[in-house]
A and B are shown apart, each in its own frame.
Chain A
Amino acid sequence: MTRPLPRHEAGPPAEAQPEAQSEAQSEAQSQAQPEPVIRLVSVVKTYGTGEAAVQALRGVSLEVAERDYVAIMGASGSGKSTMMNIIGCLDVPSEGQFLIDGIDTSVLDEQQLATVRNRKLGFVFQAFNLIPRMTALGNVELPLSYAGLRGAERRLRAEAALQLVGLGQRLQAQPQQLSGGQQQRVAVARALVTAPSLILADEPTGNLDTRASADLMNVFDRLNAAGRTIVLITHEADVAAHAKRVIGVQDGHIVADRRVAEPSANPPLLRRAVDGTVRP
């Protein structure tokens, strides 16, 4: 669990500059420009071999800064799920590089990747993906267990995370006793309990009704306003409207990259959400 992660050192040619200089640069500029949370460099992902080979990603380069709130949009088959798998360290690129917090994932073995997923990433899935027959609290404690935390501290942090998503009263509920919206909020609590560098949500509202969707997006907005970096994968414009930056993916390429608000700003729909004026 505690194997050290190799830091990325060489870097791509364009950024092969002395460490001191980049530090000086980041100090000279605003605090909003440190090392990006994720960086994809010409990532290619090919499934299958020879004649049957399918390229899901055809050279994608992308950087996501800290505190940013990014929506990746695309139709099914566009490669956005593959991107999500690579960003989530669930899969590795065939070519190119993927770095998370400056760590080059291509040199990591399966155990180190598991540690990266545990420390750096929080997942929210379309199908909620809570462990059945395990209480809400148990589910939220799980990543902390894998991180090696002791019982008392684990419980304290899991409770705090559940409070944050408004489920402080349902700690002992089993997943099947919770509504879809509540289950998804447990999943969000589980994603943020380790204080990861990035929360990665794959169609988080796909299985929710409009009201539960709005509640959930409000949770994401507040998390981002509190400083969490979030990447959403979605095909719904309503959901993407919450993000500060919207990226379009098509046929394995990035075809659009629209900046709505700066990473350091509040998410665009946050104020209205607090005012309660968001359309269902």
Chain B
Amino acid sequence: MSPGQIFRFALAGLAANKLRSALTTLGILIGVGSVILLVAVGNGSSQSVQNAISSLGASSITVLHTEGSAAGPAAAAPTAAAAGGSTAFAEPQNLTVQDAQALTQASGVSSVSPVVSTSETLSLGGTSDSGVSLTGTYPSYFPAENDTLSKGSYFTSQEVNTARNVVVLGSEAATDLFGTANPVGQSVLVAGIPFTVTGVLATKGSSGLTSADNTAAAPLTTVQDELTGFGSLDDVVVLAKSASQVSAVEGEITSILDLRHHETAADADFDVLSASTLLSTASSTAHTFTVLLGAVAAISLLVGGIGITNIMLVTVTERTREIGIRKAIGATPGVILAQFLTEATLLSMIGGALGVLGGVIGTRFMIVGVKPVIVPFSIPLAFGVSALIGLFFGGFPANRAANMRPADALRYE
């Protein structure tokens, strides 16, 4: 008895009652499809949250200058921080480069980038681009902000130390000024002062209302020299060595700055913000969500499996006489077992294959505002489980058929 022949008998058995086979298959189809789809929805929502947060920089911490910013660069005396001697104000103090340097002492800190920001007009020949947000900082700022280059290079620490007029353009600013031409090595006017373009950043996309790409970044020293003056830093971007260390580093930053500024948490002149605390809450919520959805789907797959047992028991009872005939003309128990197991497994595997198809098609649509992202291993897993369900849940009825006594089976009406 060849496997092909057993397979043909099983197909004929299924074809004998097409509606029943189709409905049983539907049970598995829904089970497998919902496992794939719901896990993809969970995964999709978790990924969209993680993407949103990690575009902010998962392990970066921003120390914002708060009350002191009212004084602003204009109010601050140019002499205040130039020589590095921090003037002890009783009132809210400036956030200084020395503060930033102190933060490098904290353990778990990978880099510290002091930042001044301003909005300037960039121009080139007749073209000009106003409202470009210009950041004066250190090269370590780029990795901390998850920036990547599309052309050229970042400016170097050397160029920061020597306050060179070099600038890295955001992708939108570069396109506005240069069109499709390569800006690297070209000169551009920032508020009328010539700067050499060293690189162009890759497109980040818009975050909210403002474009994250209509930007430019230049050495901190140059920006302070030429444009903003030596007042308070606007913020300091601290990159933790890993996302898991972010909260520890936040604590250290707070205590270092409290100490340096002689103040308590109540009258702090800075804020410490991190995306990571938000991220971990959001991703653990999303994970719970995925597991919950997967469990609901797995239950429906189980119910589909019980449907197979049920329908195979009915089939075996209904075909008792046929089983008797087959045994009388020489079918061994093994052949009968194989035939009914094949029927059950075919039911579940056809259901599984259609379920995979349905699940994959389903993930092409937005579901309650979430773009589902297929978890690759969920497909072979769901399909494999459906095949095993056929074997497992079909085993009991098939065994009952195989062990029928032929004389009794033939007498069955």
Contacts and interface: CB of A to CB of B under 8 A. Distances in A.
Interface string A23-60: 00000000000000000000000000000000000000
B225 interface: no
A151 to B, nearest CB: 9
Contacts of B328: 88, 90, 117, 123, 129
Interface in A133-151: 133-134, 142-143, 145-148
Contact of A114 (B15, B333, B410): B333
B17 to A, nearest CB: 10
A143 B333 contact: no
A130 B324 CA distance: 11
Interface string A99-136: 00000000000110011011100010100011111100
Interface string B307-344: 00000000000000110111111111111000000000
Contact of B407 (A90, A142, A143, A194): A90
Contact of A129 (B1, B16, B325, B334): B325
B405 A123 contact: no
A190 B329 CA distance: 9
Interface residues of B, number: 24
A145 B9 CA distance: 11
A125 B410 contact: yes
Interface in B288-317: none
A145 B1 contact: yes
A61 interface: no
Nearest to B16: A133
A90 B332 contact: no
A178 interface: no
Contacts of A129: 321, 324-325, 328, 410
Interface in A74-90: 85, 88, 90
A1 interface: yes
Contacts of B335: 146
Contacts of B15: 133
Contacts of A194: 330
B12 interface: yes
Contacts of B326: 131, 142, 146
Interface of B: 1-2, 5, 12, 15-16, 321-322, 324-335, 405-407, 410
13 contacts: A90-B410, A91-B405, A111-B332, A111-B334, A114-B331, A114-B332, A131-B325, A133-B12, A142-B329, A145-B5, A146-B1, A146-B326, A194-B330
List of 6 A-B pairs having minimum Cβ-Cβ separation, nearest first: A118-B330, A146-B330, A90-B407, A114-B332, A143-B329, A90-B406
Interface of A: 1, 85, 88, 90-91, 110-111, 114-115, 117-119, 123, 125, 129-134, 142-143, 145-148, 190, 194
